[in-house]
Amino acid sequence: MRVIRGYKFKLKTTPELQRAFATMAGHARFVWNKALRLNLDRLERKAPIMWYSDLCGLLRLWKQSEEYGFLAEAHSQVLQQKLKDLDRAFADTFDKNQPLKKQPRFKKKGRDDSFRFPQGVKIDNRRVCLPKIGWVGFFKSQEVPGTIKQATVTREADGWYVSFQVEIELPDPVSHTESMIGLDRGVDVFAATSEGELVTPVNALKNALDKLARLQRKLARQKKFSENWRKTRNRIAKLHQKIARTRHDFLHKLSSKISKSHAVVALEDLPVGNMTRSAKGTLENPGRNVRAKSGLNRAILDQGWSMFERMLEYKLNEHGGQVVPVPAPGTSHTCSACGHTDPESRTSRNLFRCVKCGHTEHADVNAAKVILQRAKVKLAA
């Protein structure tokens, strides 16, 4: 079985390398924004957009022109990869099976600094050879097995990173367990299991909100683009980086633990995009309870439900297991003991007491058991 894995390392840079990276990222961003502007103008005129092959032809003309000749400084495949990304973004936008996909947006300097090499990347111990840049050292925390399919260089708050996407040959997966488990995801409790375990959420963003608010107020008082303003902005970026890493680490460890212990994981099929949609509405139809909905949206996104599900899926696949999504409606109001469904059985946020049979249990654990029962029915069908 062939699988794709990712490995990420921090690069050892010099001021000269940083300028080279920034230039390459800038050229890639320029191509994305120019091609996006071109297609948005065509959409406004009701004209068909230009896809990847057409845009590549335009790219050649841009590089030969006097106005955009600077694009020839960048590696040609780096610019082509940006056009491929834009092509995929428009395809997703027009895909009726992905109604929540939004129109591609312009990339901003300092926020979207990255570029990708689809080939020509070599690793020699603690160095990586990047086309048109040369050998660059990196902090190698682990070996990179398999065949490198592509490498992406990205600027983060504390420096530049390289991510390798590699293809690895693994033995065909065989699950060493037949255990099945149901998970009910939430905000106060990150996940309740059908085995009765309550997983406490890490709340990476919630725990940093006060510090983040102080820094943002400080930034607002400072003169824009001053040295102190730049320092504060960098502190905010590093705090966001810490929040993301804390959440990512928590989700990785939990998903690894579950995927190694169970062959089947049942989850509610939650439309997270719909659940976190803004409640502001429009001027004609303003939303209701906007502040409360905004807080709930932030709490849901802070948990990383979608990321957790993706991690479970690929880890279970590698272990010979699977994720089984089941319909979400009614799981919190259905009794896991007798199957009776009644909203009155959910007496409080944490307590479930069946109005028919009297079964009493933590509400989230009861829901996890119902989710598992639905998964078993689905698998048996």
Tell me the catalytic residues: 184, 268, 364
Would the CA dihedral through 167, 168, 169, 170 be positive or negative?
Answer: negative
Report the distance separating Cα 341 and Cα 330, nearest Å.
7
Q: Per-residue b/e over 267-282, b at no fewer than 16 CB within 10 Å?
A: bbeeebeeebeeeeee
Kindly list the strands in the beta sheet with 127-130, ordered across the sheet, starting from the edge strand earlier in the chain: 114-117, 147-156, 159-169, 2-12, 134-138, 127-130, 122-124
- CB distance 162 to 151 below 8 Å: yes
In terms of Cα–Cα distance, which of 306, 301, 304, 310 is closest to 270?
306
Contacts of 12 (CB under 8 A, 6+ apart): 136, 137, 138, 139
Identify the H or E element spanning 199.
strand 198-199
Tokens 């479930």 sit at which residue?
A: 352
Tokens matching residue 333: 């109001």
Helix axes 52-64, 15-44, angle to 10 degrees: 120
- CB distance 13 to 159 below 8 Å: yes
